[in-house]
Structure 1
Amino acid sequence: MKKKYVVLVITILLSASIYFLLFHKNKSLKFIPENADAIVLVDVKKVTRQYISELLTHPSEWLKDDKKNKSKISFSKSGVKIPDFLQIFHLKNTKISEWYTILEIEDKEKFSAFLKSRQFVNDGKDRFKNGRFFIQIEGEKCILGTSDQNLKNIGSPLSQKFRNKVLNADSFMQDSFGSISFISELRTRNFSIDLNEDEIEIKSSESSGDFKSLIADLESKTEFLKAELDQNNIKNISSVFNKNISDSLSVNSLKMSVNLEEINDTIISYGYDDNFNEIEKVSYQKIVQPNYELILQTSDADKTWNYFQQKKWINSQNQFTAIPFQPNTIYKNNNQISIKSTQRSVKNDDIKKQNYIFVKNNPLLFSVFKTFGNSYKEFFKNVDYIFCGNKSEDYLIKIKLKKNELPLILKL
C-alpha cells in the first residue's frame, strides 16, 4: 500500500510541476506604455508546449549539435526574467520599423555575459547596440528595441483598467500563439497570430479561411506581385506609413501586376590611354528590374493628375517619377490613370474583384537579401508567398513557407 501512496504522491507532484511549468500563466501586462498604438503579445508557454511537442516527434533533432551557436549564450540563460506573455509594442508617431519590449533583469552578471556573447557593444550610459538592436538598462529593467531614437519617449505603463477591462492578456488575445492589437482613440482591433507547420497566419477571425480559393488561384499564376485594393484599404495602408494622401488622390480602387526580369545594364565610364587620349569604356552588370502595370480608378482623374503634378511626380516625358524603377509612362483615360513600364508591361486582365496583395517569392530577389543577416536571408529564401486579404471586417495575412522536413517552430 505504501508504494501506491508514494507513486500517487509522485504523480501528483509531477503533474503539478508540469502544470505550473507549461500551463499556469501570469496574464498581467506590466510593461505596455500608455503611448503605445500597437501591441504584439506572444504566449511563451504555448510556444514552449508547441516546441516540445514538435521536438518529441522529430528525434533527429534530439542530439543535434549546433556548433555555430556554441559560443552564444541562449536567451533562456541570459539573466532576464522571461514573462509568460512577451510584450512588444510600437509607440505613437514613430516609424513603422520601431518596436520595443521591456524585460526584468534577475542576474546582472549573467546578463552582461549574454550581451558580450551576442556581440553587443557598450555605447555608454548603460546603452548597448548590435546591428539593428539596441538595449537601454534602467535599474532592474532593460529596454530592447529596433531603434534608439525613442527609448526615452516610452511612457508610463497603462493603468490597471483599459477600456473598462482589467488590463491582462485576455484584453488582447484568446487561445492563440500570439496576437497583434492596434489601439486608437475609438477602439482596439485584435488579430490572432498562429504558427503552423509551414506557415504563419495573422487573422481577425476564424472566418478568414474564406480566402482559400482566392489564394489557390493566385498560387497558380506566374506574376511576382498582384494586388487589388478598394478605397478603404488604400486609405488604411497609406495611414500605416503616415502618408494620408488617399483623400487628395480621390482614388476609388487600385489594381497592380508586377513581374521581375534580369537584364544586362550597360555601364559607360571614361579613362585615358598611354597618350592621354580620352577613351570610352563599356562594361555590363546584371540587374533585376520590375515590369509592371498599375491602374488607378478615380472619381476625378483631373484632380488626381493635378495632385501628381503638384508633387512633381510627373516629368515632361510623362513619366511617373515616384516609381523609381526604369522608364515608365503615365496617362489618363476618362476616370482611369494607368502607369506602365515601357520596356515590357504586364496586363491586368485577370480581375478578381476582391481586396488582396499577393507576393510570390522569386529567385531574382535573392540578390536583394545581401544586405540582410544570414538568419534573415535564410528565412526569406524559404518563403513561398505572402498573402494579405480583406473581406468586410475579416483580415488575413498568411506567410507560406516552402515544404521542409522540419516544422517552422524547430527552425526558428
Structure 2
Amino acid sequence: MNKKKIILPLTLLLAAAFYFVFFYKNKTLKFVPENADAVVLIDVKKLTGQYISSFIAHPSKWIENKTKDKKTIPLKNSGIKIPDFVQIFHIKGNKFSEWYSVVELEDLQKFSAYLKSLQFVNKGKNVFQKDQIFVKIEGENVIIGTSASAFGNINQQLFLSSEKKFLNADRFINNSLGSISFISGKKIQNFTIELKADEIEVKNISKIGSLASIVADIQRKSHFLEVELDAQNVKNYTRFFDKTLADSVQISYFKATADLEQVNDTIISYGYDDNFNEIEKKTFQKIIQPNYVIDLQSPAPEKTREYFQRKKWINAKDQFTAIPFLPNHIQKNNGGFVIKSTRNPIMLSPKLKENYIFVRNNPMLISSLSILSPAEKKLLTDIEYIFYGNKAQNYWVKIKAKKGELPLILRW
C-alpha cells in the first residue's frame, strides 16, 4: 500500500481529533435557571490549555505530581461529565454568598466514591456536605452549592419545568478564560476573568488607565484597609446586605481607613472556694481587633442620625454599635459623621476623590478566621491584596498573589 495515501488521511484524522479535544466547544448552557441574576462561566478547555502550558514550563511540578496522595480520586475519574463551560449562577433574591452549579452525572458509583475520598458527609436525601460546600444528587444530575437552601428551586427550574430555554455561551463570554455576568431583565453586563502568573483580574475594559495609579498610590502606605466610595458605589454595595438601607440612611460619601492589632482580652467568670465563698476568676486571651476611622457624608445628616437611632445603632455613650468592635465614638461634623475607634486612634488617609476598596493581606486576619479549613487558609495566605476600582462605567477587580516559584494555576 502507498504510504503517502495513508499519511494524508491519518494527518487529517489527528488534526480533527486535536481540534475537537482542545478547541471545539459546546456553547449550549443547559444549567442556568431563568431566575438567575448573575452567571459565572469558566472555559474549561482554555483553562486546561493554560494549565498544560504552565505544567510543561515548570518541571518541579512533575516530581510533585508523582508523589501526590493516591487516596484522593482525580476529577477525571469522579463519575461526572466535565462540560466545556462550567456554569456557576446566583439566584435572584438569595443571599450574596449562595452560588450554585450543575453538572451531569455519568456514573453514580464512581461519584459516590469520589465524594467519600474528599470526606463529604452524607446528610440524607442524596445531600452531602463538606465544610461550606453542599452536593445533591438529582437523578442524572448533580447540584453543587455554597448552601442547600435553593436545591428545590433549582430542581423545579431546570429539571421539572416543561419549558426549557437554553442559553448560549457567546452571550456571556468572548475568548477569555472566564466571565461574570449580571442579568437584569434583558440587559446583561459582562466582565472578563483573566488568570495570570500571580494575579486574577475581573474587568469590563481592556485598558485599566488611571485605576492602576490608585493601587500604586495605596501600596506606598501600610494600612490593612482603605476605602473611598461615592453615593452610587455605596448604594451598590449596601444592596448586598439590605436593599432599602442605602435609600434609608442617605450616605453620599464613605471613606475608611483601618489597621489590625492583637490585644489581650480579659474574661471574668465566677466560682466558689472550698467554703462556698464566691470568687472572681480572670483569664486572658489574645484577640484581633481593628483600629479604624470612618467618614460618612450625608445630604441630610439629621435624618441619617434619626435612622441610626431608630435602628438602635447609637447608644447613650454615642458609640456606634452597628460596628461590633468597641469602644468607638461617633461624632457629627460638617455634612456627616466620623466614627473612630478610641482604644488606639488612627488618622484618616487623604482623599483621592476616586472609588476604590483596597484590602491588604494580614497574617492576624487569617489566624482569627477559625471557620476556614486549612486548605482555605493556605489559599488566603498566598494573597497579597484585593483591589476594587470604579471610574464612570469602568470596573476593575484585581486579586494579587505573592510572588512564587509556580504560577497561580499550579499553586491553587
Aligned residue number for residue 58 of structure 2: 58
The alpha carbon displacement at 1:344 in A equals: 1.7
Q: Where do 1:2-401 residues align within 5 Å?
A: 2-65=2-65, 69-154=69-154, 155-157=156-158, 167-185=167-185, 187-401=187-401
2 and 220 in structure 1: CA distance in 2 versus 1, 3 angstrom threshold: farther
Separation (CA, whole Å) in 2 of partners of 1:200 and 1:109: 36
Counterpart code for 2:172:
F
TM-score w.r.t. length of structure 2 = 0.94
1:27 and 1:168 in contact (8 A); partners too = yes
345 and 66 in structure 1: CA distance in 2 versus 1, 3 angstrom threshold: farther
The DSSP-based 3-state class of the residue aligned with 1:207 is coil
Separation (CA, whole Å) in 1 of partners of 2:52 and 2:139: 34
The alpha carbon displacement at 1:7 in A equals: 4.3
The alpha carbon displacement at 1:126 in A equals: 2.5
10 and 61 in structure 1: CA distance in 2 versus 1, 3 angstrom threshold: farther
Q: Name the % identity.
A: 52
The alpha carbon displacement at 1:66 in A equals: 6.2
The DSSP-based 3-state class of the residue aligned with 1:62 is helix
1:207 and 1:394 in contact (8 A); partners too = no
The DSSP-based 3-state class of the residue aligned with 2:88 is strand
Separation (CA, whole Å) in 1 of partners of 2:353 and 2:368: 32
285 and 121 in structure 1: CA distance in 2 versus 1, 3 angstrom threshold: closer
1:251 and 1:297 in contact (8 A); partners too = yes
1:160 and 1:167 in contact (8 A); partners too = no
The alpha carbon displacement at 1:209 in A equals: 4.5
1:100 and 1:145 in contact (8 A); partners too = yes
The alpha carbon displacement at 1:186 in A equals: 5.7
The DSSP-based 3-state class of the residue aligned with 1:61 is helix
The DSSP-based 3-state class of the residue aligned with 1:371 is coil
57 and 137 in structure 1: CA distance in 2 versus 1, 3 angstrom threshold: same
Q: CA RMSD in A?
A: 2.0
The alpha carbon displacement at 1:95 in A equals: 1.0
In structure 1, stretches of 5+ residues that fail to align are: none
The alpha carbon displacement at 1:109 in A equals: 2.1
1:370 and 1:377 in contact (8 A); partners too = no
More displaced stretch, 69-78 vs 9-18: 9-18
More displaced stretch, 127-136 vs 245-254: 127-136
The alpha carbon displacement at 1:118 in A equals: 2.0
2:288 and 2:368 in contact (8 A); partners too = no
2:388 and 2:398 in contact (8 A); partners too = yes
The alpha carbon displacement at 1:333 in A equals: 1.8
331 and 245 in structure 1: CA distance in 2 versus 1, 3 angstrom threshold: same
1:293 and 1:346 in contact (8 A); partners too = yes
Separation (CA, whole Å) in 1 of partners of 2:106 and 2:272: 66
Q: Any idea what the Cα deviations from partners look like across 1:331-356, whole Å, max 9, x if unmatched? A: 11231211000112221241111000
In structure 2, stretches of 5+ residues that fail to align are: none
Q: Any idea what the Cα deviations from partners look like across 1:237-268, whole Å, max 9, x if unmatched? A: 11122343111122110010001111122222
Alignment: residue pair count: 408
Separation (CA, whole Å) in 2 of partners of 1:385 and 1:62: 29
The alpha carbon displacement at 1:64 in A equals: 2.0
Q: Any idea what the Cα deviations from partners look like across 1:135-182, whole Å, max 9, x if unmatched? A: 222221111111111101125359887xxxx83111011111101111
Separation (CA, whole Å) in 2 of partners of 1:79 and 1:105: 6
Q: Any idea what the Cα deviations from partners look like across 1:316-374, whole Å, max 9, x if unmatched? A: 00000000102100011231211000112221241111000000011211222332112
The alpha carbon displacement at 1:68 in A equals: 5.8
1:314 and 1:320 in contact (8 A); partners too = yes
Separation (CA, whole Å) in 2 of partners of 1:107 and 1:271: 59
Counterpart code for 2:189:
R
Counterpart code for 1:216:
A
TM-score w.r.t. length of structure 1 = 0.94
Separation (CA, whole Å) in 1 of partners of 2:349 and 2:116: 56
The alpha carbon displacement at 1:120 in A equals: 2.5
The alpha carbon displacement at 1:94 in A equals: 0.8
